Structure 1
Amino acid sequence: MSTVLSVSGSPSATSRTGRLLRHLDVRLAEQGHRVIPLDVRALPAEALLGADPGHPAIQGAARLFEQADGVVIGTPVYKAAYSGLLKSLMDLLPQYALAGKAVLPLATGGSPAHVLAVDYALRPVLTAMGADHVLPGWFVVDKHIAVDPGGAVTVQEDTAREVHRVTDAFSAALATRHHALAAA
């Protein structure tokens, strides 16, 4: 099927954003997609903060974007915008790194007051980077994501239903694109 790059823009190793993405990665894999997780925080800080697009780790990340059929972008919302860590990576990618790709934006935050960050902060950047199809994303309030001591993720029922709906729409868009390319 399709290759999906699942990008977490959270600076925290224990973030709900990252855990939500990895939870959705399983769903996408069960639907037949090859999922490649990318935690931006694992990239070298000196390359990100030094704006070094030639750094081997940044070039490796750029190759992952190039090879992907679709990209899930997950970010915590800080001050009504996506994370600076995610911005650091996106600034180092080629201008049209998302050309030919379907993109699903997801965001998490402490309050529903930040829900518009997906459409007004993140979506314009994804579009400017050439994404063919930016699906309607979803904002999840942090308290709707629970992590037990063993690391298992539980998403509040109504929220899970909506996140699964947008994830399944993303999966369907990838399948449609895959079949169209195979037929061509």
Structure 2
Amino acid sequence: MATILAVSGSPSPVSSTHQVLTLAADRLADRGHRVETLAVRTLPAAELLRADAHHPQLAEAADQFARADAIVLATPVYKAGYSGLLKSFLDVLPQFALEGKVVLPLATGGSLAHVLALDYGLRPVLMSMKPRAVSESFFVHAGGIRKGPGGFAGLEPDTEALLHEATDTFAGLVESLTQAALSSVRLVPAA
């Protein structure tokens, strides 16, 4: 199965965005994929803002990104745009860092108008990085999130079902493209 990197672009250690990403990652792992997680907020801020790609932590994050077969990017939407933290990380990566990869953009936001940030803000940046495919974006409105005493308590059943559907569609795309790549490899017997 594929190695999938789940990237959290939320600046908050306790965020609905990270929780939604975790639900998607768990669903992908249940399908047999190897899922790794990267919380961009844990990278050194000064080096990230300077785009110091040679800093050891940023270089390791870029290597982790390069090793993945597919990427799930999760971001909160602020002021009608995806997070600056995620943008800073994408700017550190090589120009064609998504080449050959399948991407699932996820976002959370407080207004349905924020859904446009995915297709009019994030998608063009992703497409400039030459992905093999970008799955349909998925947006979680604040009304689809259940809150408890400690914050995030899960998703409303309808929202969770839609997240599962989006995640399964993405997984199916990853699996079909991985299988197609494997079937195009011709084994030549040793002489």
TM-score when scaled to structure 2? Answer: 0.92
Asked whether 1:170 is paired with 2:170, we answer yes
Q: In structure 2, what is the Cα distance between the partners aligned to 1:152 and 1:41?
A: 19
Q: If you compute each CA radius of gyration, which structure gives the higher value, 1 or 2?
A: 2
Paired positions, count: 184
In structure 2, what is the Cα distance between the partners aligned to 1:124 and 1:87? 12
- Whether contact under 8 Å (1:20, 1:153) holds in the other structure is no
**Do structure 1's residue 134 and structure 2's residue 137 form an aligned pair?**
no
In structure 2, what is the Cα distance between the partners aligned to 1:182 and 1:150?
45
In 1, the alpha carbon distance for the partners of 2:150 and 2:3 equals 29
- Give the whole-Å Cα distance in 1 for the aligned partners of 2:26 and 2:151: 14
What SS is found at the alignment partner of 1:172? helix
Contact 1:105–1:137 (Cα < 8 Å) also in 2: yes
Q: Structure 1's 152 and 139: CA in aligned 2 closer, same or farther, altered over 3 A?
A: closer
What is the distance in 2 between the residues matched to 1:80 and 1:121? 9
Distance 1:151 1:26 in 2: 20
For residue 150 of structure 1, report the CA deviation from its aligned partner: 6.8
TM value normalised by structure 1: 0.95
Q: Could you tell me how far 1:143 is from its partner in structure 2?
A: 3.4
Shift of 1:72: 0.3
Deviations 1:47-93 (A, max 9, x none): 11222111111111111111111100000001111000001100000
Provide the residue aligned with 2:12 in structure 1. 12
Please say if 1:38 is aligned against 2:25. Answer: no
Aligned to 1:75: 75
Per the alignment, residue 90 of structure 2 pairs with 90
Deviations 1:90-133 (A, max 9, x none): 00000000000000001100111111111000000000011110
Structure 1 segments unaligned to the other structure (5+ residues): none
- Partners of 1:182 and 1:2 lie apart in 2 by 12
Aligned residue for 2:51, secondary structure, equals coil
Q: Distance in 2 between matches of 1:147 and 1:71?
A: 27
SS of residue in 2 equivalent to 1:63: helix
Match of 1:58?
58
Post-superposition offset of 1:46 = 1.6
Conserved 8 A contact 2:100-2:130: yes
Q: Which moved more, 1:151-160 or 1:102-111?
A: 151-160
Matched, 1:180 2:180: yes
Cα pair 1:19 1:153 within 8 Å, conserved: no
Mapped to 2, the partners of 1:145 and 1:101 lie a distance apart of: 29
RMSD across aligned C-alpha pairs, in angstroms?
1.4
Q: Which residue in 2 is equivalent to 1:22?
A: 22
Residue pair 1:108, 1:140 contacting (<8 A) in 2 also: yes
